[in-house]
Structure 1
Amino acid sequence: MDTVDGAPSRTPGGSALLTDLYQLTMLRAYWEYGMNELAVFEFFVRRLPPKRNFLIAAGLAPALDHLEGLRFEPDELEWLSGQPGFPAAFVEGLTEFRFTGDVDAMPEGTVFFPDEPVLRVTAPLPQAQLVETRLISLLNYSSLIASRAVRFALAAPGAQLVDFGLRRAHGAEAGLLAARAAYLAGFDGTATVLAGKRWGIPTYGTMAHSFVQAHDGESEAFLRFARAHPDNAVLLIDTYDTEAGASKVVRIAPQLRAEGIEIRAVRLDSGDLAAHACRVRRILDEGGCPNVRIFASSALDEHDVARLSRAPIDGFGVGSALTVSTDTPTLDSVYKLQEYAGRPRRKRSEGKATWPGRKQVFRTYAGGRLSGDVLGLEDEDPGGESLLKPVMRAGVRLSPDPGLDEIRDRVRRSCGSLPDGLRSLEPARTVYRVEPSPGVRALAAEADLRHRAAERTPAGT
């Protein structure tokens, strides 16, 4: 917990003030004119990033945590009352602000595509509006990282994958959410200790080069680390000379074995990893250490991992490429009003038009593989699997969050149902089909007609 002027305070992520100012300025205007009827907002991604063929929904549990805990603390309201544009009566009304709405969402781990609502909020307009910024930040980042992480899993099936990205993450929350998103998307664990405590994610860690440098010789460093961690003897061997380090591992292995300690793996972190791995594998095998695994790290992306998976490398540590999603640092995700006061609402901005109404995604399969999605209205029935599920009613979760292992299974099933072309690291030749239903198109036409009629009516009449 953070402190402010020596007093306990919530972490920034839990504050109702972690939002854009325009959310609060709109709330004040809604309050002024009594605009409190039900609104429907949907979170979706406008377009796929380059070279991505699909995305993975993630971040739902943190988003629901935020909605359940949303409230303004006294010190926040005191600060807000001193800002221009927020009268005392409005600020006073925020003391009882809570989220009391409904949420429908795709389960975490579901494959999704552009224009498909991943999450739908139905709530009084001020509530549905205020949560926009925080929901986008949580869903956008988690889905971004999960969608990158699954590419590593597809690049090297069967290889061990560990998230090493905390030190390069853009802040503490990003590092934690990345560890969670990577694990649910198929990584085996993380180096981020707090993620282990918070979510039960397996944690992995050995030694840094500084540990070796702090000793007068590599063999001494290896022996001390193995004796200190007899069940986790993984040795970093490239501080000085990789192959010489491997030879020292072979020399100390019998001594450690006599003490009941088996060296589990060696880690390579520099140079031509494929070439070093081949030479190290030969040294280990010829030296009587065939069971010692080889683990590699060093600024790897999924294409590196795909290439290196053909070398004798058993696992990979992935850092910056995953945690900051170096190839595409964000998604073009939005949270848009689709209905207010029982009427469809539609944005028609050039290049950013939306489909109105409460929508559902209907997914069809052929031979066990995805064959196409229909973007339909909630009450339509074009056939297929309905992807959005009720997860919150009247501000309360309907059931406990699924375990991460359950989400991991959903990712495996979702990716297993993708057509082969979509599983490639390269852009698919055929784009996956998502078609608006006739009902959605008709509702859009209705919304356009109503808007044009309203524009012809003088304001204030």
Structure 2
Amino acid sequence: MSEVTATDLYEVTMALSYLREDMRAPATFGLFARALPPGRGFLVAAGLEPALDYLSRFRVSHTDVEEFAEVLRRPVEDLEPLRGLSFDGLVRAVPEGRLVFAGEPLMEVTASLPQAQLVETYLLSLLCHQTAVASKAARCVLAAGGRPLVDFSLRRTHGPEAGMQAARLCALVGFTGTSNVAAAHRYGIPAAGTMAHSYVETFFSEEQAFRAFARSHPGPVTFLVDTYDTGHGVATAARVFEDLGLGPGCGIRLDSGDLDALARRARTALDEAGLGAVRIIASGGLDEYGVDRLVRMGAPIDVFAVGTKVGTAADAPYLDTAYKLVQYDDRPVMKLSSAKVSAPGRKQVFRFAGLHDVIGLADEELPVGSEPLLRTVMRDGRRTGPHDSLTAARARFEADIANLPDEARSIEHPVPHRPAVSARLAALTASVRHRIEDRIREGEEP
């Protein structure tokens, strides 16, 4: 599948019309979340790196034109104006790992109108999904309170590529490992995993299964102890650890039941066997709510493995994002539809201490005590710097999350910041609105 044809049909029909009407002046589109999902006090900007990769290689080929023509049931010649179209515009964006709030542009794209229009769908898909998953994973990090987290999401994500993204995003916000072998290799994330219940079931006994596994993997091993009876499984694991001289770095995994009670009993049994260095890993339908509950109860769990609910951002699987035209040919524009009003003009987000933000215009002077969130990351269709790293993105996340106020970082009923609007942006918005409304009252086209 071509990345170019992975778009909504109306992007193609609009771009073609712009080309035929010779509407090629620079246009700026802003990509932002209208509102935060329920249960979210912040968002983690994510997806920028793959978005820049996409824009860097974007070019409409002859094959793409043929596919467009086939879908539209029109002669190939009708779609020829699109052939050879590539992206040579300017991109300003919030770097991955930064925390953002509703209404703040994650990205602004300035390019010839047909170019900027045709890339809309793919950019929304990349940034919407990845920001949603990164934000969910970040809340798990907050809930864990410093305890390690491992990504187990691949088998439940919405396709293998979504699983690759989830592993990368979990690492971006501080997860220590992933079960996804391909992601571990591609992104340099430590691989982590244990065994399945089916492995234990294929042997005559749990002890045979544990010993066989340890023979194949002489390094630190983790035994899944709840296939039959958890208490018996813990005792068996402890005996195998002692017999084989295994201990530091090894662990047992609990995957079902009352994880708090089971972890307490397991910890007591392991300690009594002199295996205080053996870790307890918990999994099984966990997300930030389950992790937070276990941490607050004081459950002796050393590592949390989370999968389904995080890799799919289960309680908030999408963002109400938009990609709106804010300026065309130096003319600020805006949308006035009910509940979907968009502010005009190219923008900047000025961040003050405590993550208090002001959304202003891009050409405003930087206010004292603030920093600009949007950075120029692409000019003339080329990156302005090297590829960003997970390490750098994680450092930005850690710095922002450390300064996030308690009410926004709360797991239950968080209260997000509401960014303010600069006086200049407010004045421009009022001016453009009045201009449109005056023309409508006078019976003219807005």
Contact 1:28 1:86 in 2 (8 A): no
Match of 1:375 in 2: 359
1:23/1:130 contact within 8 Å kept = yes
Asked if the contact 1:59–1:108 (Cα under 8 Å) also holds between the matched residues in 2, the reply is: yes
Partner SS, residue 39 of structure 2: coil
Report the Cα distance in structure 2 between the residues aligned to 1:314 and 1:72, rounded to whole angstroms: 51
Query: Contact (CA 8 Å) 2:28, 2:110: kept in 1 or not?
Result: yes
Question: Which runs of no fewer than 5 residues in structure 2 stay unpaired?
Answer: none
Give the equivalent residue in structure 2 for 1:221: 209
AA partner of residue 395 (structure 1): G
Residues 393-412 of structure 1 correspond to what in structure 2 (within 5 A)?
Answer: 393-412=379-398
User: What displacement does 1:420 show?
Assistant: 1.8
Q: Mark the CA change 1:347 to 1:86 in structure 2 (over 3 Å): closer, same or farther.
A: farther
**Which stretch of structure 1 is more off in the superposition, 375-384 or 450-459?**
450-459
Report the equivalent of 1:279. 265
Paired position in structure 2 for 1:166 = 154
Equivalence for 1:435: 420
Q: Paired residue for 1:328, among 297, 305, 316?
A: 316
CA distance in 2, matches of 1:275, 1:428: 28
Correspondences of 1:385-396 after superposition (within 5 Å): 385-396=371-382
Give the Cα separation in 2 of the matches to 1:377 and 1:195: 39
Tell me whether 262-271 or 444-453 shows the greater mean CA deviation. 444-453
Per the TM alignment, residue 287 of structure 1 is displaced from its structure 2 partner at its CA by: 1.1
Q: How many residues align?
A: 441
CA contact (8 A) 1:226 1:261 kept: no
Deviation at residue 188 of structure 1 after TM alignment? 1.2
Identify which of 175, 198, 201 aligns with 1:187. 175
Seen in structure 2, the aligned counterparts of structure 1 residues 197 and 86 have a Cα distance that, compared at 3 Å, is farther
Segments of 4+ moved more than 4 angstroms: 260-263, 452-459
How far the C-alpha of 1:86 sits from its partner, in A, is: 4.8
Q: Which amino acid aligns with 2:109?
A: V
Map 1:137-176 → 2, pairs under 5 A: 137-176=125-164
Opposite residue 260 of structure 2, the aligned amino acid is A
Structure 1 residue 264: Cα displacement: 0.6
**Inter-CA distance 116–65: structure 2 relative to 1 (3 Å threshold):** same
Do the aligned partners of residues 286 and 159 (structure 1) sit closer, same or farther apart at CA in structure 2, a change above 3 Å counting?
A: same
2:20 to 19, 27, 32: 32
Contact persistence 1:105–1:120 (CA under 8 A): yes
What one-letter code is carried by the residue in structure 2 that aligns with 1:343?
R
SS of match in other structure, 1:96: coil
CA shift for structure 1 position 232: 3.6
3-state SS in 1 of match to 2:56:
helix
Q: Post-superposition shift, 1:262?
A: 5.8
Q: Which residue of 1 aligns with 2:327?
A: 339
Conserved? CA contact 1:233–1:262, under 8 Å? no
Say whether residues 1:299 and 2:285 are aligned partners: yes
8 Å Cα contact 2:149-2:305 kept in structure 1: yes
Q: Structure 2: how far apart are the matches of 1:357 and 1:262?
A: 59
Residue segments in structure 1 that go unaligned for 5+ positions in a row: 1-11
Tell me what 2:431 maps to: 446
2:408 pairs, out of 422, 427, 441, with 422
The structure-2 alpha-carbon separation of the partners of 1:364 and 1:270, relative to structure 1 and needing over 3 Å to count, comes to same
2:64 aligns with one of 61, 72, 76:
76
Q: Given the alignment of the two structures, is residue 362 of structure 1 paired with residue 366 of structure 2, yes or no?
A: no
Once residues 415 and 44 of structure 1 are traced to their aligned partners in structure 2, the CA distance between those partners, rounded to angstroms, is: 20
CA offsets per residue over residues 169-190 of structure 1, 9 Å max, x none?
1112211111111110121121
Q: What amino acid maps onto 1:275 in structure 2?
A: A
Q: In the TM superposition, what whole-angstrom CA distance separates every residue of 1:374-409 from its partner, at most 9, and x where no partner exists? A: 110011123411110010001101111221011111
Matched residue SS, 2:326: strand
> 1:128-181: CA deviations, max 9, x gaps?
111111101110111101111111111112211011111111112211111111
Relative to 1, partners in 2 of residues 1:458 and 1:303: Cα closer, same or farther, differing over 3 Å? closer
Which is worse superposed, 303-312 or 66-75? 66-75
- State the distance in 2 between where 1:386 and 1:70 align: 28
Match of 1:8 in 2: none
Distance between the aligned counterparts of 1:261 and 1:295, measured in 2? 14
1:95-128 CA-to-partner distances (Å, cap 9, x unmatched) read 3111100101111110111110111100001111
- CA shift, 1:85, in A, is 6.3
Q: Structure 1: which amino acid aligns with 2:399?
A: R
Taking only aligned residues, the RMSD between alpha carbons, in angstroms, comes to 1.8
Secondary structure class of the residue paired with 2:430: helix
Task: Give 1:90 shift.
Answer: 4.5
Question: Matched residue of 1:224: which SS?
Answer: helix
The alpha-carbon distance between structure 1 residues 263 and 256, as it changes in their structure 2 partners (threshold 3 A), is farther
Tell me how far apart the structure 1 counterparts of residues 420 and 85 of structure 2 sit (CA, whole Å). Answer: 38
Q: 2: CA distance between counterparts of 1:54 and 1:359? A: 20
The residue type paired with residue 212 of structure 1 is V
Q: Structure 1, residues 296-320: CA drift from partner, whole Å, max 9, x if none?
A: 0000121110122221100111111
The change in CA–CA distance for 1:348 and 1:86 in structure 2 (over 3 A counts) is farther
**1:288 equivalent in structure 2:** 274
Which residue number in structure 2 is paired with residue 105 of structure 1? 93
Tell me whether 1:92 sits opposite 2:76 in the alignment.
no
Q: Deviations over 1:403-457 (max 9, x none)?
A: 101111111110001112211112245x523111111122112322443465557
Distance 1:263 1:211 in 2: 21
Distance (whole Å) between structure 2 residues aligned to residue 303 and residue 83 of structure 1: 45
Partner residue, 1:123: 111
Q: Distance in 2 between matches of 1:19 and 1:119?
A: 18
Amino acid at match of 1:414: D
Aligned residue type for 1:112 = V
Instruction: Give per-residue Cα distances to partners, 1:274-301, cap 9 Å, x unaligned.
Output: 1111111111111121110000000012
Counterpart in the other structure of 1:7: none
